A and B are shown apart, each in its own frame.
Chain A
Amino acid sequence: GAVVSQHPSWVICKSGTSVKIECRSLDFQATTMFWYRQFPKQSLMLMATSNEGSKATYEQGVEKDKFLINHASLTLSTLTVTSAHPEDSSFYICSARAVEDTQYFGPGTRLTVL
């Protein structure tokens, strides 16, 4: 099946700093990628839809100025958490949509903000 990678797999940062997470589709091109967030023992919540070459679409309640998304190529989308605070600590997972509409997920990035 299709492979999606994320980098880093985990990151610890100080409050107030920014953190960038990369999502790559390794063996297919994805015009659309998605970013989800998962809190402990909860399900995934869609944060935003990342479209190659255009602005991301954010879900209600997700601050676009705090969670910057860039989809610069057909295989790479980045999520930057700006001015991170402890409440932003979470498991961030991306997915990439393949031609057949199946969404393949990355392994996730665990963010801990101190």
Chain B
Amino acid sequence: SQELEQSPQSLIVQEGKNLTINCTSSKTLYGLYWYKQKYGEGLIFLMMLQKGGEEKSHEKITAKLDEKKQQSSLHITASQPSHAGIYLCGAISGGGADGLTFGKGTHLIIQP
């Protein structure tokens, strides 16, 4: 089964600073999803990457998928308090199933 390793597990960043979260897979990724979750709430879809080398941006968040399609990074520029939360990467489980396997998440705290 596919495993996703996220790093760091937690991150405290001063407001206005940039940050990067990584997601590494043990297998080739056929679809990589980034979500944001506030504890005890649902997931907010951020971006989906499918092609090697693909990069997408939304407001101050940029996600990239490497050429080998085994690693993705999420970069936040000029962080704001609204960016605080748990960031999860998810990928197609494989084996014919379409459900997502998730990493353990990165807990982001923004210090004012």
Residues of A within 8 A of B (CB): 1, 4, 6, 32, 34, 36, 42-46, 48-49, 57, 59, 91, 93, 95, 97, 101-108, 110
Which of B12-20, B35-43, B69-77 binds A?
B35-43
Q: Are B41 and A97 in contact (CB under 8 A)?
A: no
Give A101 Cβ to nearest chain B Cβ, in Å: 7
Partner of A105, one of B40, B42, B104: B42
> Given the complex of chains A and B, what is the CA–CA distance between A96 and B98 in angstroms?
11
Which residues of chain B have C-beta atoms less than 8 A from A110's C-beta? 40
Cα–Cα, bound, A97→B103 (Å): 19
* 0/1 interface trace, chain B 69-109, chain A, CB 8 Å (1 if under): 00000000000000000001010010001111111110000
Contacting pair A101 B101 (CB below 8 A): no
Q: For the complex, what is the distance from the CA of A7 to the CA of B42, rounded to whole Å?
A: 13
Q: Collect the chain B residues with CB atoms within 8 Å of residue A36's CB.
A: 99
**Nearest opposing residue in chain A for B104, CB measure:** A43
Q: How close is B35's CB to chain A, nearest CB, in angstroms?
A: 7
Number of residues of chain B lying within 8 A (CB) of chain A: 22
A105-B43, A106-B42, A107-B41 given as contacts; is B48 within 8 A of A34 (CB)? no
Of B48, B101, B104, which one neighbours A46 at CB under 8 angstroms?
Answer: B101
Q: A1-B45, A43-B103, A106-B42 are in contact. Are A101 and B31 (CB under 8 A)?
A: yes
Closest to A94 in B: B42
Q: Is A102 within 8 A of B42, CB to CB?
A: no
Kindly provide the distance from the CB of B7 to the nearest chain A CB, expressed in whole angstroms: 14
Instruction: Write 15 A-B pairs (CB below 8 A) sorted by A numbering.
Output: A43-B88, A43-B102, A44-B90, A49-B97, A49-B98, A49-B99, A57-B97, A93-B43, A101-B48, A102-B45, A103-B100, A105-B42, A105-B44, A108-B40, A108-B41
Q: Which residues of B contact A32 (CB under 8 A)?
A: 98
- Are B98 and A105 in contact, CB atoms less than 8 angstroms apart? no
